[in-house]
Structures are given as C-alpha cells and as structure tokens.
Amino acid sequence: MGSGWYVLERKPSAGGMAPLYATILETIRRLYFFWKALLIMENIHYTVSHEEILNDTNRLPITRLLAIDLKKNPYKTIGDFISKINEYDLQTLVEKVNETTETKEPDPDILLMSIMLAVAEGVDFDLDLESVTKCHNYLMNFIIIESLGRKGLVKVHHKNMSFGDDYNDKIIVEKIA
C-alpha cells in the first residue's frame, strides 16, 4: 500500500451486503479514479482504517497526524480540529482549497480528512456522491473561515462547526465590525 491506493473491504455481517458494497465501490470510482478511501463496512456504518493512512507517505502530514490522533481517540469535532491546526498546515490546506476551486477536482487529502472527521464526529454518514461532496465542501469552507478568523477578519464559532444537518441553523462565522 502507501501510494494513495486504499482498499475498500467489508467485514462479514448478516444479510446481503453485496449490492451495497458494489454501490459503494462504484461511488468511489466516480469520485476518484486514482484514489480510494479505506472504509470498513460494519452493518452499513463506516469507519476509517487509520493504519493505511499512516503508512501512506503521499498524504499530507496534517492528514497523517489526524489519522494518528483519531486512532488514539476516535471522537473529534470538526471545530476542535480546525481550531488546533498550525499556521503552516492551515496555509497548505488553503492552497489545496484554492487549487480545488480552480480545477474543480476534489483534493484527495481534504476528502480523506472530511470523511475521517465526519465519522469521528458521529455523523450518520452515507458513502454516496452527495454525502461525500457535502463533507468535502463543508471542510473546504471551514478551512477558509478559519483562515479569515486568524487574520482577524471574522469571529469563528468553532463549537458550532459540524458536518451534521442539525447544525445548519447555527452561526459559524460573524463579520467583525
């Protein structure tokens, strides 16, 4: 492993998982032809194999550090993660967001981090194009919001950041007057 290829595997479970498994594989292929996230299916719930991410030297250091952190403690909120990113990693992620915006090609590291964080947050997460795209876009927005907050342009409410729909009415960012 290690070169950006992750294996999708499933654990044995009761009932016919083959059609769902095939759908998940097809969704991943549509998202990235060169990249697959390692997700282990457990009765239609997903967890990320942090070990594969740790061993992939092609991933950004921040992606691998998140995997290490989540391996030790599998629960983390997006607000906690965003607020603790160092300046260098934040700038790297901002550059990745800008590249993604220009090319319209999702960034593998941002996508992988968004999946890890959505699972870590406990969001009821489906591995379909809509859910994965939503998490990817939310993380890109949170990265830009954090960058603006550190420049003193906005006030960021980290505790209100979430991938869950129950946070849609919460204030995440306020303009500083």
Segment 83-139, tens digit of pLDDT? 999 999 999 999 999 998 888 888 889 988 998 898 888 887 666 677 888 888 999
Comparing 2-6, 69-73, 154-158, the range with the smallest average pLDDT is 2-6
Whether 39 is covered by a domain: the verdict is yes
Which residues face 39 on adjacent strands? Answer: 48
Question: Taking 50 as the threshold, does the pLDDT of residue 68 lie above it?
Answer: yes
Whether 19 is covered by a domain: the verdict is yes
Whether 1 is covered by a domain: the verdict is no
**∠ Cα 73 63 163 (to 5°):** 70
- Which of the two residues, 136 and 19, has the higher pLDDT score? 136
70: phi > 0 → left, psi -120 to 50 → alpha, else beta; which? alpha
87-103 vs 61-72: helix crossing angle, rounded to 10: 110
* Predicted pLDDT of residue 127: 66
The letter for the amino acid at 156 is: V
Count up the domains in the chain and report the number: 1
Whole-number Å distance between alpha carbons of 121 and 70: 11
Whether 90 is covered by a domain: the verdict is yes
Whether 109 is covered by a domain: the verdict is yes
Instruction: Supply the mean pLDDT for the chain.
Output: 77
How does residue 34 score in pLDDT terms, banded at 50, 70 and 90?
very low
Whether 3 is covered by a domain: the verdict is no
Residue 32 belongs to what domain range? 9-175
16: phi > 0 → left, psi -120 to 50 → alpha, else beta; which? beta
Whether 63 is covered by a domain: the verdict is yes
87-103 vs 129-150: helix crossing angle, rounded to 10: 130
**∠ Cα 32 28 84 (to 5°):** 75
Question: Taking 70 as the threshold, does the pLDDT of residue 27 lie above it?
Answer: no
Whether 153 is covered by a domain: the verdict is yes
Comparing 32-36, 60-64, 132-136, 153-157, the range with the smallest average pLDDT is 32-36
